[in-house]
Amino acid sequence: MWEVTSRPASYLESLPVELIRKIFFECLEINLPRASLYIAQILSDEHVYTWLIRVAFCSLNESSRTGFFTPSFLPSPLDFFAVSSSDRTRLQASILGCRWCTLPLMRKCQREYIEHVIRLKCRNLRFAPEDRKKLTNLDAAFSRLGDWDQAPGGRRGKGDLIVAAKAPDANGSDLKVAIWFNVGALQIREPSPIYYEIDLFRLPCCAVENPPRMPRKLLHPPWTPVKLEFLALLATEAYIDEDNSYARSKRVLRQVIRDRDFPTFQRLLGLSIRTKIYNYPFRWPARPSHFRAALRHAEGQNDPFVRFLCENRWGDLPLTEIDVKQALLDNLGREAFEGN
């Protein structure tokens, strides 16, 4: 009869827990927990996950360079400014691919981040009592994120909550504190009729020039409201496609059409996304193959997929696709169409 013997602990496993965590934070090797079940148990902690998200996804804006990353917010040996741009991109991609990186955790980190900014960067500003109360009680705002600016087209408005403030200097200069709850951003700025995205605190924040790749876990079924919300949050931060062949986004949308998942189809085509080689967000591509797929899988006349594409993406279909255009019109029972 076989005897089950336990494997002797490795040198790393025999170290104190605090030292193992210190090594992990020094190297930021996300695969380290896979070395053994014991190490995974030590590093599988919400505090650890939160600190990793903070070191990877906080914005590198000017006002965050001094007095922001306090020991209570990002404990030693984690050092936000010691992580290079390329290493941060790799860290972001690794974190996004982890099962523990979920929308609820990211939302929790966003809220704690905004509250941290308010505590540190707004404490010396002078507010009217009612405005100070708004900033110290954000429960209601964070409980209904769907009501706030979703940054359509990747462009934010002037802010979901804007309060007036006075600078602590002798002149008491006028300032505005603006918060975007859904995207996890805050800005302290001078009043201006024109909004400039300067010195913006933001989480999650990925470098425009060197973004991480969107994880596969957010690009396949089953499509849930939580998954789609997480995808929407990251859509203009992480890239989906390598180039303008749109291989991944094209495949995802084609599969949604085949699966006849109309709510997801609508949601995806309403998103703005980005590619690795292009710094600006654009609408989720609707290619000629998607129009053909909609026709091929149509269920009778006036099919909802066909109708949605015609009403919202008619202009995306090249003029040379004469036969496809005619088939679309035939499905809708129309002779002509003027669409977007």
Q: Encode burial over 137-157: b for 16+ CB neighbours within 10 A, e otherwise.
A: ebeebbeebeebbbbeebebe
Per-residue pLDDT at 1 exceeds 50: no
Per-residue pLDDT at 2 exceeds 60: no
Per-residue pLDDT at 170 exceeds 70: no
The CA distance from 218 to 238, in Å, is 11
Question: What are the structure tokens assigned to 250, written together?
Answer: 């094209």
CA 223, 268, 320: angle at the middle one, nearest 5?
135
Residue 189: enclosing H or E segment and its boundaries? Answer: strand 185-189
User: What confidence score (pLDDT) does residue 172 get?
Assistant: 78
In whole numbers, what is the pLDDT of the chain averaged over residues?
91
Do residues 166 and 174 touch, judged by C-beta distance below 8 A? Answer: yes
Q: Encode burial over 283-315: b for 16+ CB neighbours within 10 A, e otherwise.
A: bbbbbeebbbbbbeebeeeebebbebbbebbbe
Cis status, amide bond into 221, omega within 30 of 0: no
Q: Which pLDDT tens digit goes with each residue over 13-56?
A: 888 999 999 999 999 999 998 888 999 999 999 999 999 999 99
User: What confidence score (pLDDT) does residue 5 get?
Assistant: 47
User: What confidence score (pLDDT) does residue 4 get?
Assistant: 42
User: What confidence score (pLDDT) does residue 338 get?
Assistant: 61
Question: What are the structure tokens assigned to 26, written together?
Answer: 């020094």
| DSSP 3-state of 243 | coil
The CA distance from 122 to 188, in Å, is 8
* Residue 108 amino acid letter: K
More reliable by pLDDT, 151 or 90: 90
Do residues 28 and 55 touch, judged by C-beta distance below 8 A? Answer: yes
Per-residue pLDDT at 265 exceeds 50: yes
Mean pLDDT of 148-157: 72
The CA distance from 139 to 127, in Å, is 19
* Residue 101 amino acid letter: C
- pTM: predicted TM-score of the whole model, two decimal places: 0.91
Mean pLDDT of 238-246: 96
How confident is residue 245, by pLDDT bands cut at 50, 70 and 90?
A: very high
